[in-house]
Structure 1
């Protein structure tokens, strides 16, 4: 990586914890050399970061991990993206389905949340993929592999947020927008894992499944082939815990962290999940 800092931060948890709290979209950091390839002016870039960033989800995950560590369950592992998803989106894949690439929202974004140009026509995405995307994916894969070796299972809990009002880039955003959306995968999300999440977040006025965002993140090495890797996406509607679009966090953040800690504890204590 030519001396550049790693594009992620891995905070080890307890050796016997299977849970990895994955936070891919909380950062607003865009390195200067990447900024040079973005066509927005400074003000427009800041507004785009307000809309595209899952603000404070790193804090939510860190507080949930700390709460778990003070209870009966071992502390979960934290894997946090240190860079904005405007650099690369680690939860897309280079062969992402055509509809996302057509919307300018593949692994390297070319359009903003409102459909405006983000990068010029003809830009090369390979340097960004090589420098940021592939090292991130390899490190996340290694983290899952290490949990499997140590505990015999891994549970990836993807921590996200989403706006209360649909943004133009959302291709499937016309469905319900509950306070908490749970994204699941038919292979990697066992029913008990989903049920634990529904109980943990029951106090927020409703949870939904796969709307407005669906699915969850599993490293490609294990996707669709290893049931020892469980996965669930938690999408918190932003008005639950912060002022939109890019304002301060509110008291709801502590409630969200407590619910996430409850989920971590339940999952950790049930080997079949």
Structure 2
């Protein structure tokens, strides 16, 4: 049996950087013990991973970090979101439960069964979701202790054409969607992101995906934690679905690096 991939890892940046690039959906790795609880055959699973994975976003964050004058920190999920989705609420507050995509998915992007309807999510939550949440919380706490603030930049991508699972798939699909939170996304942070990504044909707000990730310890409580989600439409930088990256990846990495550098001056 091959060794299990690391569930997540924190890549250190400069001690004085408050910025934490969060990359939760870039991996295709599904441990063998988790694979046994999934109803899809090998070919169907690979096709689902093509659709659901934010391909190349870990590479995008790494390239952006290398281009920065002051390197940000990076928190990268080493497992597919088909194992658990660390950005979902682990309870009935999660609106994506309506399409079987809470913290533990029971449906695919095309609303087909992914796990048995009576599958118990608790073992996966205990083994993967809660440790991830604790580690991400600790990473934010470390930036607060070191710099007095933390800025979580959530790095995602989304398909050019809406998939059946999307709750807001009929709305605009701009080249770069910026997901915001009324408490944690100050106007200055949003303005810097709009300027950084202005060269890609336009940015939009909270469509097709709204909001951004903040650990529950800080969510709605600590204004020292800023947050913004960056959703890049995949046709800007890769062949869909699940194909190789193209030259657009470098330009996007430069833009993301520019945003990080700008945040050091605020």
TM range (shorter): over 0.9
Separation in 1 of the partners of 2:157 and 2:6?
Answer: 24
Q: Indicate which of 167, 171, 174 corresponds to 2:167.
A: 171
Counterpart of 1:108? 104
**2:254 maps to 1:258:** yes
Separation in 2 of the partners of 1:96 and 1:9?
Answer: 28
Counterpart of 1:156? 152
Separation in 2 of the partners of 1:97 and 1:130?
Answer: 18
Q: Indicate which of 162, 178, 186 corresponds to 1:190.
A: 186
Counterpart of 2:25? 25
TM-score, normalised relative to structure 2: 0.97
Separation in 2 of the partners of 1:131 and 1:27?
Answer: 17
Q: Once the 2 structures are TM-superposed, how far is the Cα of residue 269 of structure 1 from its aligned partner?
A: 1.6
Number of residue pairs matched by the alignment:
264
Counterpart of 1:65? 65
Q: Which aligned pairs between 1:104-253 and structure 2 lie closer than 5 A?
A: 104-253=100-249
Change (3 A) 1:146 1:99: closer
Counterpart of 1:81? 77
User: What CA deviation, in whole Å up to 9, does each residue of 1:37-70 have, x standing for no partner?
Assistant: 00000000000000000000000000000000xx
Q: Once the 2 structures are TM-superposed, how far is the Cα of residue 99 of structure 1 from its aligned partner?
A: 3.6
Check whether the contact 1:96–1:107 (CA below 8 A) recurs between aligned residues.
Answer: no
Q: Once the 2 structures are TM-superposed, how far is the Cα of residue 9 of structure 1 from its aligned partner?
A: 1.0
**2:5 maps to 1:14:** no
Check whether the contact 2:5–2:78 (CA below 8 A) recurs between aligned residues.
Answer: no
Counterpart of 1:34? 34
Structure 2: gaps spanning 5 or more residues: none
CA-based RMSD of the aligned residues comes to 1.1
Check whether the contact 2:88–2:94 (CA below 8 A) recurs between aligned residues.
Answer: no
Q: Once the 2 structures are TM-superposed, how far is the Cα of residue 97 of structure 1 from its aligned partner?
A: 2.9
Structure 1: gaps spanning 5 or more residues: none
TM-score, normalised relative to structure 1: 0.95
Q: Once the 2 structures are TM-superposed, how far is the Cα of residue 5 of structure 1 from its aligned partner?
A: 6.1
Separation in 2 of the partners of 1:43 and 1:266?
Answer: 44
Change (3 A) 1:239 1:85: same
Q: Once the 2 structures are TM-superposed, how far is the Cα of residue 121 of structure 1 from its aligned partner?
A: 1.8
Check whether the contact 1:8–1:81 (CA below 8 A) recurs between aligned residues.
Answer: yes
Q: Once the 2 structures are TM-superposed, how far is the Cα of residue 96 of structure 1 from its aligned partner?
A: 4.5
User: What CA deviation, in whole Å up to 9, does each residue of 1:5-62 have, x standing for no partner?
Assistant: 6410110101100000000000000000000000000000000000000000000000
**2:51 maps to 1:51:** yes
Separation in 2 of the partners of 1:86 and 1:256?
Answer: 26
